[in-house]
Amino acid sequence: MEWNFELTTQQARELYARAARMNKTGSRLLKALGALVLGMALWIAAQAGQALLPGPGPFRPAADPVAGTVYAVIALGMAVVAVWVFLRARPEGMADATLLQMERQGRPTAGRWQVRLDENQLLVSCGGAQSAQDPSVIQKATPCPEGLILSLHNGARTMVMPAAAFESPEAMAAAAAEFQRCSALAKARLLQRQAGELADPADRPALPPCPPLPQGESQVFAVPVMLQKEEVFDAYLAANQALHLVGRRRIVLAWVLLVVASVELVFSAAIGEWSFALLMACFVLLALLRILSRSRACQKNALRQQLAGEQLQRLTTPGWVVLGQSGYTATSGALCSYRPYTRLNEVAQDERYLFLRFEGNMISLIPKRGFESPEQARAAFDFLRERLGQKSGR
């Protein structure tokens, strides 16, 4: 089956808003954060009121307009932040945030799309890039009035197709059923291959021929990629760390929040302001959860879950990486993908691999053992850095 359609920004926004309504976890977390910020703003506003309008009696402190004004400004600022968080928690706000993140990562949203599906591959073309994946990456296909929502890679990625891409609601439902059928067949095929390899470890797919390049493209480096199962985890863990996927700015902000909230917690508990101390304890907990979620141990656990089962089978399928003058071609078995270097966001290396990060935090790694010599591996890394520099204007 094949679909050719034009996806507008408004259609994408409506579809991602629908996806946010179906998965409410992110919205609930944002609402909880907004409630915490609003509670803190109300407490600071109460302090501002006490400083500006002290009550009667000889034992009440005198008015302090300066402190009251400072408290009022801080409370107003936090109230604005709380309102922004609540607006962001709406399905439309979640959709806008998703589109903004995709734009920053260089992933296409609006434009001309081509989607082709059969029992052997899911081929997606948009903006000069072509991605061929095994249909087993399809987790769920959900039709809705706005279009079809595809959950890929165990929910880690979402792809949308507008209702205009289908002739009728019945055709959309049939397409969703076809996506599910091809996914089930591909998963069964991977399980069959896994069982065959367990019975006979030497029974692995052979390295396919080097792929042909797109018209007008010329080859610079061609490298066979044959990853062993026992090396996949360590290789992708090294890629996560080398390519800075943790988000250093957010971690720095989390540490700043942790230090400030901890100091305020201790001070508030010392003077008996238990309501404010409770709010600070909530912020300390949030900062700790954010920091721990990006710790090495949590990264390892998340990576093990991502590389379990079918994904491990897909990553160990022999293929090729061809670095051309204008773009990057990768194969996995009979699947072939092409991405121009304009989609390349970062390049790194260690002693054993070259790491590439494309739009949407898509990682590709190239074993250096596939090059003819260490000098050729260094030349390939310098070539990729040059292409990345041309993209960023350096």
**324 and 258 in a common domain:** no
Q: What is the CATH number of the domain that holds 385?
A: 2.30.29.30
Per-residue pLDDT tens digits for 131-157: 888 898 898 999 999 999 999 877 678
* Count of structural domains, the chain: 3
On whether residue 197 sits in a domain, the answer given is yes
**155 and 78 in a common domain:** yes
Q: Above 80 in pLDDT, residue 267? A: yes
Q: Above 80 in pLDDT, residue 206? A: no
Any idea how long the chain is? Answer: 394
Give the three-state DSSP class for 143.
strand
**277 and 258 in a common domain:** yes
**371 and 273 in a common domain:** no
pTM: 0.76
**153 and 42 in a common domain:** yes
**186 and 125 in a common domain:** yes
Q: Above 60 in pLDDT, residue 245? A: no
Q: At 61, is the pLDDT very low, low, confident or very high (cuts 50, 70, 90)?
A: low
**188 and 68 in a common domain:** yes
On whether residue 298 sits in a domain, the answer given is no
Q: Tell me what pLDDT residue 114 has.
A: 92
Per-residue pLDDT tens digits for 65-111: 877 888 888 889 889 999 999 999 999 999 998 888 888 777 777 88
Q: Tell me what pLDDT residue 149 has.
A: 93
**Cα–Cα distance for residue pair 358/341, rounded to 1 Å:** 9
**Averaged pLDDT, 165-185:** 93
**Averaged pLDDT, 215-241:** 86
Give the three-state DSSP class for 371.
coil
Could you please report the per-residue DSSP string of 299-331? Answer: HHHHHHHHTSTHHHHHHTS-EEEEEESSEEEEE
Q: Tell me what pLDDT residue 57 has.
A: 53
What are the two backbone dihedrals, phi and then psi, of residue 162, each rounded to the nearest 5 degrees?
A: -70, 160
On whether residue 64 sits in a domain, the answer given is yes
**Averaged pLDDT, 32-56:** 81
What are the two backbone dihedrals, phi and then psi, of residue 8, each rounded to the nearest 5 degrees?
A: -90, 165
On whether residue 212 sits in a domain, the answer given is no
On whether residue 296 sits in a domain, the answer given is no
**334 and 191 in a common domain:** no
Full domain range(s) for residue 364: 219-243+304-392
